[in-house]
């Protein structure tokens, strides 16, 4: 009786989203295990994702199917299970981005293996949204994004630039090569730092493996690209205070981040368990509250739909090269594809945004000329 009820509830939602079962449309779901419906009702989006990882269902166009589900606000229909409620309570009460936890969280994702990322990303290993305004491919979109950031920061030769969460060092290599700045980059993930040091040998860039809370010094410009998602809501004010402390007089900072439409203290349970443990997407309201009485928001630029294109390019890249890295098993490959395509759906449905926010101190006079 419960199984029939579970299936009927799920089918009603799928019908509203115009997603057929075992149909010919690319966004049709092909069900291989009828226990799927109980699992979805019990654990919602986590169960749906895990069932895909385990081969319980398939779909040719996962990104479009999930876009349709998001368009009908599917989570409001399915009540959360006790385990998901506990996940929410735990994330609300605990600070899951303390220094020790932040380091472990970063290593979970960024230490997976450079062999994966070199096959998925562009040649400079830029792991954030490209800027596709005039770009024709992933590499040109990433170069356009890096140049956009440099221009928004009004970089000049000799400036000292801090990149918080510098990844594999691609942005700092671009900024130092094209704008003549001196760069300092930090990341808690040793795989990234080691790669960045090796590829940037001989340049005016220093890469440090450390937490932003331990950093000292003075910098003319500060940037974080894909870092805010890992800061955690309980640390937003502390993060911006540290940025303010590190910023030289008259300085500028820019933060490039995925953003939620809704202020929240928790993340999606699939992403928390498998992709970005402890990560939470900030809403613009949380961003604004965190800088109150400290910094002025000079410019907010949203180009979220560009992340859809970026994610699809990453998906195409890695799926053309899985055979080169066979030690990533089938379950991992399905997990990774679900991560990329579900993220693309989030941006396509406008459930997720990509923000670049420029800030400076309130004692700076004059208008900030916004760049696009």
Confidence (pLDDT) at 104 = 67
- Say which residue, 225 or 42, is predicted with more confidence: 225
pLDDT for 153 beyond 90: yes
pLDDT for 135 beyond 90: yes
pLDDT for 357 beyond 60: yes
* Domain boundaries defined on the chain: 2-79, 98-360
Share of the chain above pLDDT 90, in %: 84
Q: What's the whole-number mean pLDDT along residues 239-261?
A: 98
pLDDT for 194 beyond 70: yes
State the average pLDDT for the chain.
92
Q: Which residue has the tokens 């300092």?
A: 184
Q: Which of 127, 174, 167, 125 is nearest to 146 (CA)?
A: 174
Question: Degrees (nearest 5) of the Cα angle 156, 160, 163?
Answer: 110
d(CA 305, CA 348): 6
276-307 pLDDT, tens digit per residue, is: 998 999 999 999 999 999 999 999 999 999 99
Q: What's the whole-number mean pLDDT along residues 355-366?
A: 95
Q: What's the residue count for the chain?
A: 372
187 phi, psi to nearest 5 deg: -155, 145
Instruction: State in words which class domain 98-360 has.
Output: alpha beta
Across 217-245, b (16+ Cβ under 10 Å) vs e yields: eebbbbbbbbbbbbbbbbbbeebbebbbe
pLDDT for 84 beyond 50: no
Q: Which residue has the tokens 């449309």?
A: 25
Which residues, in sequence order, are bridge partners of residue 223? 163, 254
DSSP state of 371: -
The two beta strands, 247-260 and 219-225, are parallel
pLDDT for 48 beyond 60: yes
Confidence (pLDDT) at 64 = 98
Confidence (pLDDT) at 25 = 97
Q: How confident is the model at residue 73 (pLDDT cuts 50, 70, 90)?
A: confident
- The burial class, CB within 10 Å (0-12 / 13-18 / 19+), for 282 is buried
Confidence (pLDDT) at 370 = 95
The CA-to-CA distance between both ends of the chain, in Å, stands at 57
d(CA 169, CA 162): 11
- Say which residue, 201 or 3, is predicted with more confidence: 201
Written as one string, the DSSP assignment of 213-266 is GG--S-EEEEEEES-GGGT-GGGHHHHHHHHHHHEEEEEEEEEEEEEESS--S-
Confidence (pLDDT) at 111 = 73
d(CA 183, CA 176): 7
SS3 call for 169: coil
User: Do 291 and 68 meet the contact criterion of CB atoms below 8 Å apart?
Assistant: no
User: Do 207 and 191 meet the contact criterion of CB atoms below 8 Å apart?
Assistant: no
Q: How confident is the model at residue 77 (pLDDT cuts 50, 70, 90)?
A: low
Confidence (pLDDT) at 96 = 58
- Say which residue, 44 or 104, is predicted with more confidence: 44
Q: How confident is the model at residue 102 (pLDDT cuts 50, 70, 90)?
A: low
**Strand ranges in the chain using DSSP code E only, listed in sequence order:** 30-31, 57-58, 160-164, 182-187, 205-209, 219-225, 247-260, 296-302, 352-360
pLDDT for 192 beyond 70: yes
């Amino acid at each position: 009786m419960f199984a029939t009820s579970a299936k009927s509830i799920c089918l009603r939602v799928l019908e509203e989203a115009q997603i057929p079962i075992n149909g010919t449309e690319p966004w049709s779901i092909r069900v291989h295990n009828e226990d799927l419906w109980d699992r979805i009702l019990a654990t919602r989006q986590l169960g749906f994702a895990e069932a895909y990882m385990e081969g319980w269902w398939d779909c040719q166009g996962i990104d479009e199917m999930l876009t349709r589900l998001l368009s009908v606000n599917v989570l409001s229909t399915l009540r959360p299970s006790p385990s998901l409620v506990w996940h929410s309570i735990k994330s609300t009460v605990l600070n899951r981005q303390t220094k020790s936890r932040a380091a472990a969280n970063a290593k979970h994702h960024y230490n997976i293996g450079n062999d994966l990322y070199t096959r998925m990303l562009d040649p400079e290993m830029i792991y954030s949204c490209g800027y596709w305004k005039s770009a024709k491919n992933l590499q040109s979109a990433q170069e356009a994004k890096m140049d956009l950031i440099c221009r928004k920061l009004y970089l000049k030769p000799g400036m000292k630039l801090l990149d918080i969460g510098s990844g594999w060092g691609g942005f700092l290599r671009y900024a130092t090569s094209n704008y003549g700045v001196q760069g300092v980059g930090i990341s808690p993930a040793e795989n990234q730092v080691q790669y960045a040091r090796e590829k940037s040998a001989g340049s005016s860039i220093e890469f440090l493996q450390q937490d932003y809370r331990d950093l000292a010094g003075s910098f003319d410009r500060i940037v974080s690209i894909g870092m805010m998602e890992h800061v955690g809501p309980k640390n937003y004010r502390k993060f911006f205070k540290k940025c303010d402390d590190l910023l030289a007089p008259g300085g500028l900072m820019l933060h490039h981040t995925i953003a939620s439409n809704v202020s929240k203290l928790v993340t999606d349970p699939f992403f928390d368990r498998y992709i970005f443990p402890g990560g939470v997407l900030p809403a613009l309201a949380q961003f604004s509250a965190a800088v109150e009485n400290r910094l002025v928001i000079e410019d907010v630029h949203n180009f979220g739909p560009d992340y859809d294109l970026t994610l699809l390019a990453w998906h195409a890249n890695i799926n053309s090269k899985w055979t080169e890295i066979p030690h990533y098993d089938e379950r991992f490959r399905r997990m990774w594809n679900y991560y990329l395509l579900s993220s693309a759906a989030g941006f396509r449905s406008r459930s997720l945004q990509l923000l670049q926010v420029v800030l400076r101190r309130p004692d700076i006079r004059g208008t900030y000329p916004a760049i696009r």
